[in-house]
Amino acid sequence: MHLVGATIDRAEPRPAFRKFIAAATVGNIFEWYDWGVFAFVVTYIARNFFPSQDPTAALLSTFATFGAGFVARPAGALLIGWIGDRFGRKTALMTTIYVMAIGTVGTALIPSFNTIGVWAPVLLVSARLLQGISTGGELGGSLAFIIEWAPRHLRGFYGSFQQASTIVGLLIGSAVSAVLNSILTPDQMVEWGWRVPFIIGGVLLPIGIWMRRDLEDTPAFLESKKSKAEPMSFRTGAIMVLRAVGFGICWTTCQYLILSYMATFTAKQGGLSESQALWSHTTGLICAIVFTPIWGFLSDSVGRKPLLIAVNLFFSGMGYFIFSFISSAPGLYWIVAVQCVLGAVMAIHTGVGPAAITEIFPTKSRSFLNSLAFALVVTIFGGFSPYVATWLIQTTGSPISPSYLLIATGLIAAATVAASKETAHDELA
């Protein structure tokens, strides 16, 4: 197979590389700020768009809308991933941020159910679908861009910034929601306060558009366009995608149960107020951000496999005890401590996973296959995790039941990683 990327092998990043990192991650920050805000203000959205005498039913309807955006991810991955491999990484990244802006602003401006009736949830679902299309192409495309620009011995470190930016987006969303919950009354949050975070996102998105306008395509991509190598077979591509999905199922489940749903769980099952839950959650996100590049950097030395196997086994073995302890309502400080530990350990996924998965695919198809793999795993194991968690609690009557998701996905992911080749020290194909 024709190898590319040797021109930047073990070389220092170009002077403009920091600019490329910032431009590639800024869209991801806004993307996940929006997703995080939706999860953090979900109870207020439920009351505006899915009025019901049963609060759990309204919450389930809203989480289903949250998951609908994930259903659109494969479509976004197919479209924007193809654009990235056909027309370049820059074109794909510009496409995602424009679609993202429409979805975010749309969510902020949609009238409530009491104003326009059934059109309110219809428009809300439409906005989430646009957001899903954007995210479907953003994650895989920005990772391909970053990994291809990075020198071989620092791919894990630089790739970790993409996922760190994801947590930054969630952190900002959590912090904004916490501030609003602290300064506004519950009635104000229901009436108009929940819209403020989406308006903020819509106002700031032009900054991301401006930052991306001067991007250059990667040397690896430009070199791959000159290659005369035969296209890979469908079977080969499918095996690569399935391996990447196996790598990501525990990571994705953790990301949505621990980095998104946990704010809801600690409020409903852990005995915290809405404000306490959001501030506790924010603390855990800070720990995850700090440790993400540390684990990414370490994986460049010791490899991706040992760290990924360890984190998958941790959540498989400890998932039950984590949810059991929090549901015992041990108090704010204990829950904050647990969320800090979870954030630090979860950061192994976010620090090591981006490079590990992206390195699976060859440059000629990396944007498309990477986007598709992430979209599939996030759609199946991420978007509906909060919904499944809420449903499990309601069905079983046990607040610990969401841990079953961590146990199952952790075992599958550990086995997949153990059976795969180490790629940390190889050149990009």
pLDDT for 206? 85
Residue 304 vs residue 126, higher pLDDT: 304
Contact by Cβ (8 Å): 59, 42: yes
How many alpha carbons lie under 13 Å from residue 363 in its C-beta half-sphere? 29
Per-residue pLDDT reduced to its tens digit, 360-398: 999 999 999 999 998 888 777 776 676 787 788 888 888
pLDDT in tens, 164-215: 888 788 778 878 887 888 888 888 888 899 899 989 888 878 888 888 888 8
Residue 146 confidence (pLDDT) above 80: yes
How confident is the model over 72-108, as pLDDT tens digits? 888 888 999 999 999 988 899 999 988 988 888 888 8
The topology under which CATH files domain 14-224+232-418 is: Growth Hormone; Chain: A; (1.20.1250)
CB 370 within 8 A of CB 358: yes
* pLDDT attached to residue 163: 85
Residues whose CB falls within 8 Å of the CB of residue 48, separated by 6 or more in sequence, listed in order: 112, 113, 114, 120, 190, 194
Whether this model's pTM surpasses 0.85: no
Question: Percentage of the chain surpassing pLDDT 70?
Answer: 91
DSSP symbols for 254-312: HHHIIIIIHHHHHHHTS---HHHHHHHHHHHHHHHHHHHHHHHHHHHHH-SHHHHHHHH
Q: Is pLDDT at 43 greater than 90 in this prediction?
A: no
- Please give the Cα distance from 164 to 157 (Å, whole number): 11
Q: What is the DSSP string of 85-130?
A: HHH-HHHHHHHHHHHHHHHHHHHHHPPPHHHHTTHHHHHHHHHHHH
Q: What is the pLDDT of residue 15?
A: 45
Q: What is the pLDDT of residues 308-324, one digit of tens each?
A: 999 999 999 998 999 89
Supply the pLDDT for residue 158: 92
Cβ-contact 305, 416 below 8 angstroms:
no
For position 4, what pLDDT does the model report? 39
Say how far apart CA 309 and CA 306 lie, in whole Å: 5
- Work out whether the CA dihedral 403, 72, 355, 340 comes out positive or negative: negative
Residue 411 corresponds to which amino acid?
Answer: L
- Looking at residue 58, what is its pLDDT? 62
- Highest averaged pLDDT of the listed ranges 36-40, 187-191, 220-224, 306-310: 306-310
201 close to 312: Cβ distance less than 8 angstroms:
no
Q: Which amino acid is it at 28?
A: N
pLDDT tens-digit map of 236-254? 999 999 999 999 999 988 8
